[in-house]
Each structure stands twice: as C-alpha cells, then as structure tokens.
Structure 1
Amino acid sequence: MGSPGLARLHGLFAVYKPPGLKWLHLRDTIEMQLLKGLNACKPPTPKQRVRFLLGPMEGSEEKELTLTATSVPTLTNHPLVRGPAFTSLKIGVGHRLDVQASGVLVLAVGHGCRLLTDLYDTHLTKAYTVRGLLGKATDNFQEDGRLVEKTTYDHVTREKLERILSVIQGSHQKALVMYSNLDLQSQEAYEMAVRGLIRPMSKSPMLISGVRCLRFEPPEFLLEVQCVHETQQQLRKLVHEIGLELKTTAVCSRVRRTRDGLFTLDDALLRTQWDLQNIQEAIQAAAPRVVAELEKNLRPHSGTQQLPGPAGPQGSGHPDSALGLGCWGQAGQ
C-alpha cells in the first residue's frame, strides 16, 4: 500500500454528474477507474532472498553434488500469486445530487474524507441554475410528471418575476441572519457580513442567499439560485411556488449545480476524465484552496455572543411564511 500513486490520491476533487446517473453509480465508477489505474502501475522490484540450490560441484569428475547459495526473487507479492494489489478505496461523496439533477459533485479519497467533513461543517453555499416552464403544473413539480393543470401565462412579465424573486431573497436573508447565531450588534457580525461569511452554523431549512433571473423567454425562464441546506426537489418546488405567486403555474425542467463551495464547473472532471492521472492532478490542484478555505471559515472566533435558535415558523422573517415558499423541512444535504 506504499504506492506513490496512492499517496497522491488523498484529497478532494469534483466531477460533473450528468442527468440520469445515480450518485452511487458514479461513485462506484470512479472507484473502479482508480483501482484500474493503480493496479496497472508498474509493480515494485520484488525483494530478493537467499536460497541454497543443489547442483554439481565444479571441477569434480565424479559428479559430486553441492549446495550453492544464490539470490532469487520473492514471488509472494507477485500479482499472479496474490491477485491485484488494490481491491477497494475509501471514497466519500459530498452534497449529493438526485438522479434528474446534474452538475458539480465533490468527492473525497482516503484522508480527504476528513477534509470533506470539515468542509461540510463550514456550511458553504452552493449555486444552481434552475430552468422553469410556465403554463402547466405536475404532481412532482417536474416537466415529465403527471399533468394536473394547464394555465395561461400571457400576463407574466420579467418585471413581475424579478419582483417576486426580490421578495423571496429578502425573506430568506432575514432567516439567514436568525440562523447564523450571531450578535448583530457585534463587530464580528459586521466583519462577517462584509466578507460574506454569514451563514447558518447548524442544521436549518433551505435558505436562499441570492436569486436572480438569467433569462426570460416565455414560457421558459432561467434562474440562478445561491442557497444552503437545500435539496434538488426543494428547488423544483421553488419554481412551482413562483408560478403560483405569478398567478399561473410552472414546472421545473432542469436543475444544474454550478458551484459547491469552492468547487465550480471549471474544476469538475467530465466523464472522459475519470481516470487516475486526471483525478490525481485535480486533487493536487485543489489542495491549497481547500486548506485556505478551511482556515478562513473554521478559524475560532472570540467574543461571539451565542443567540438562541429561531423559535420556529412563528418567528418573523422565517422562510416558511408566504413568500418563503412553503415548509422546506430538514435539508438532506
């Protein structure tokens, strides 16, 4: 297990998960490709051992036998004797994506699983592009679901949509401050707000820190959503709720994660790049950024006054009210 190839595999990297692929299947595919690459590496030179071989004595006319010390390779570690050197790897998966969703998926190998846990504890935001279609509603909020209603949408304009989005963002940002457990009158709270580090420090419902319309071409519209503690189904429900607020209906046709914490689409390896060399290079490239992010977000703060958590949906500004878009439940991410 002292392979130099394995030593360069401890860390975090990101891949691009295509739609229709289960995250568990993706993880197993990555493991299979890494094992294939590790086992294909040139094995180390076999150790030598001394062995006494029986043979004729040189210069003897009577063909006398003698024992001669010689060095022979030890075959106990040969692949043909013991099988593949690597049969399994410890691979962790970060914030998961469901089958229909696509985008950035962070994975960890070996000791990187501990870094993945630390990164999870920083509650970094994630970014998505969510595509919606006006004019119909389905039982699962997706375009391919069972149609339950069709409506007109001629009255919907980009201005009306952006007005709804601003209300959503405002209500969720109030809840974001509530769940951050910060003394809003402290210097620390001010500095964290300036640096954009205010985020929930424990489990919370889905919280949206930013939402905007990227494209509006009825019946289609495209949103960019920055959030934390979300599930992809909650984002689909977001599109449904926006449709209701616009006095029509809407379904979600695509959910794509474009950023998970410090990992973006530029960092994500495509399916053709899921091999040992590309993953090793991705881990080495991401390592300094991961360390810097952890130092920035996990640095102990002094003088923080811990506030009690929100009282529940009855608290003012809670995202479960009106334009907080329904009861999100506990995020599974």
Structure 2
Amino acid sequence: MAGGMSTSVAPLTSSLSKLQAVNGLFAVYKKQGPTSADVLNSLKEALLKEAGVANPNPKKRKKQMLKIGHGGTLDSAASGVLVVGVGDGTKMLSSMLSGSKKYTAVGELGKATDTLDATGAVVLEKEFEHVTKLDIEEKLKHFVGDIMQVPPLYSALKKDGQRLSVLLKKGCKVEAKPARAVKVYNLSLQEFSPPHFTLHIECGGGFYVRSLVDELGKAVSSCAHVKELIRTKQGQFTLEDDTLQEEHWTLEHVLRSLHPCPEPEDALENGAKPSDCNT
C-alpha cells in the first residue's frame, strides 16, 4: 500500500514543483465582465488544479503556493491583453505598468455616464448631430504628446487604502484626483458613424481612455462615453500573437509563451537593476 501511495503522490508533487519553478512574463486574454483580479484568480486556480492541488480555502492556498500578479488593471468592461508575471517574473511587472500600451476604443456621442463607460448611469445627454468627422480629428490633435489628464472617479486609484470605485459604490463622497502628466504617442480616428466613433490609441502608463473620450466629447460641444474598450498591446505582448485564451491556461501553454527573466548580466545591459529579477 505504501508503494501505491508514493506512486500516486509523486507525479502531483512533481507537477507542482514544475509550476513553482516557472519565472517570467506571459499574457492572457481578459474577456469583458470579470475584473483583472478575477481573471488572475481563475488563472491561478486552473494552474494549481492541473498540478493536483486541492483548494479548501482557494484564495489563501493559491497565494501561498503560486506567486503571480498582473501588470496593469483592465476595467471589468474592457477586454484584451493582460500581462501576467509568475514567480520572479512578478518583479518585472513594474515595466509593464509604465510601458507603452495600445487600445481600440468605441465611443458614443450624446451621452455621458458617471463611470465614463457603458457600465454607468447616464448623467447627461446632449445633441451630437453637429459633430463632424473633421471636428473630432481636429480636437484629437490636442490630446497627443505630453498632456495633463484627470483620472476618472471610478478607478483603481486609492484613497486611504481603498479603491475610489469601491468607496463610491459604498456611497462615500470622493473627490477627483488632481490632473497628472501622461503621454500619448499616437491617436487616430478609425471610424465615424454617429453617434459612434472608433479610436486607436498608443499611450504610456497611467493613461485613462475613459477620461480621453469624456474630454473629447466636451471638446466637440457635446458629451461622450466609452462603449467598448480593447487593449491590443502591452509592452511586447500583442492581442493577436501572444495572449492565451482561457482554454489554454495550462502549464504547457504558459511555458510555450513565457518570456523568462533575463540573466543578471542581460538585465544590467538593458538598464534594469539587479533586484528586478532573481535567477
């Protein structure tokens, strides 16, 4: 019986050891609906389940047995690239937070919402029939380069350790954060079919597409909110080539798409600190 037990336990221990030995970055596809934290928890659960780990207390056990994090929150209503760090790869995620990102956003003229996207309540309606394609293209020029932007009230930013969005849902009074410097590398109008318009955006860290669309609506003497938002690129990870769909959240697929931590000498050549990765 002892031999039978060792035969059944050893493969599971081996699978968990292989999973815990993974260090680096990869990207998964986040669908509309769940939060980025929800996606991360589902990913942890899938990988640990494959490794044979039972989870009587899933959140506690998953944190203890697998070190994992994501490199920048996507709104629950948004979809697209979510970069994940595993093991020592979590130390590389700061570069994802500050690095370049690309988005495709569909805006809707004529309605403003409290969340600045389609999940919120409509707080203002204005005429939009006067707005032309040329109007939007001209106003977009003012949002390119180094600009100042006020983050949305409903956001992952925190006050006293709690997210502003959570405080607002609790009925707490929340003041807008001050405008901050953000960078927009490229901004273009792809489609214009009133009341809808589609933008392609390449920006740096800390940029909010919802704030852009809200400000653009005001700039054309109307109002607007984000109807749909897709992150198409984050750092070196693209939506088409690098993201793992949920059915591929397995150790095999993670290893295939993994960008491992660089060796210490490589990290230094790229300007990273020795503490950015441990090999």
Query: TM-score w.r.t. structure 2 length?
Result: 0.69
Aligned CA distance change for structure 1 residues 292 and 219 (closer, same or farther; 3 Å): farther
Contact 1:205 1:229 in 2 (8 A): no
Q: Which runs of structure 2 are paired with 1:156-305 in the superposition (5 Å)?
A: 156-170=131-145, 172=147, 205-230=181-206, 234-265=208-239, 266-283=241-258, 286-287=259-260, 297-298=270-271
Identity across aligned pairs (percent)? 33
For 1:133-160, what per-residue CA distance to the aligned partner results, in whole angstroms no more than 9, with x for missing partners?
1112222222342223222222212111
Cα drift, residue 288 of structure 1: 8.6
Provide structure 1 residue ranges, at least 5 long, that are not aligned to the other structure.
41-83, 174-203, 301-333
Cα drift, residue 165 of structure 1: 0.8
Aligned CA distance change for structure 1 residues 149 and 39 (closer, same or farther; 3 Å): closer
**Is 2:88 the counterpart of 1:111?**
yes
For 1:167-224, what per-residue CA distance to the aligned partner results, in whole angstroms no more than 9, with x for missing partners?
2214539xxxxxxxxxxxxxxxxxxxxxxxxxxxxxx633222211111111110111
1:133 pairs, out of 80, 104, 108, with 108
**Is 2:30 the counterpart of 1:30?**
no
**Is 2:19 the counterpart of 1:14?**
no
- Structure 2 distance, partners of 1:111, 1:138, is 40
Contact 2:74 2:82 in 1 (8 A): yes
Cα drift, residue 18 of structure 1: 0.8
Aligned CA distance change for structure 1 residues 217 and 100 (closer, same or farther; 3 Å): same
Q: Secondary structure at the match of 1:154?
A: coil
- Structure 2 distance, partners of 1:105, 1:289, is 21
Contact 1:33 1:276 in 2 (8 A): no
Cα drift, residue 298 of structure 1: 1.9
Amino acid at match of 2:137: E
Cα drift, residue 127 of structure 1: 1.0
Amino acid at match of 1:213: L
Cα drift, residue 246 of structure 1: 0.7
- Structure 1 distance, partners of 2:234, 2:198, is 19
Aligned CA distance change for structure 1 residues 112 and 289 (closer, same or farther; 3 Å): closer
Task: Give the structure 2 partner of residue 328 of structure 1.
Answer: none
1:99 pairs, out of 69, 76, 79, with 76
Higher helix content, 1 or 2: 2
Aligned CA distance change for structure 1 residues 36 and 106 (closer, same or farther; 3 Å): same
Q: Secondary structure at the match of 1:215?
A: strand
Q: Secondary structure at the match of 2:76?
A: coil
Aligned CA distance change for structure 1 residues 138 and 291 (closer, same or farther; 3 Å): farther
Query: TM-score w.r.t. structure 1 length?
Result: 0.58
For 1:201-252, what per-residue CA distance to the aligned partner results, in whole angstroms no more than 9, with x for missing partners?
xxx6332222111111111101111112225xx3212111101111111111
Cα drift, residue 116 of structure 1: 2.7
Aligned CA distance change for structure 1 residues 5 and 263 (closer, same or farther; 3 Å): same
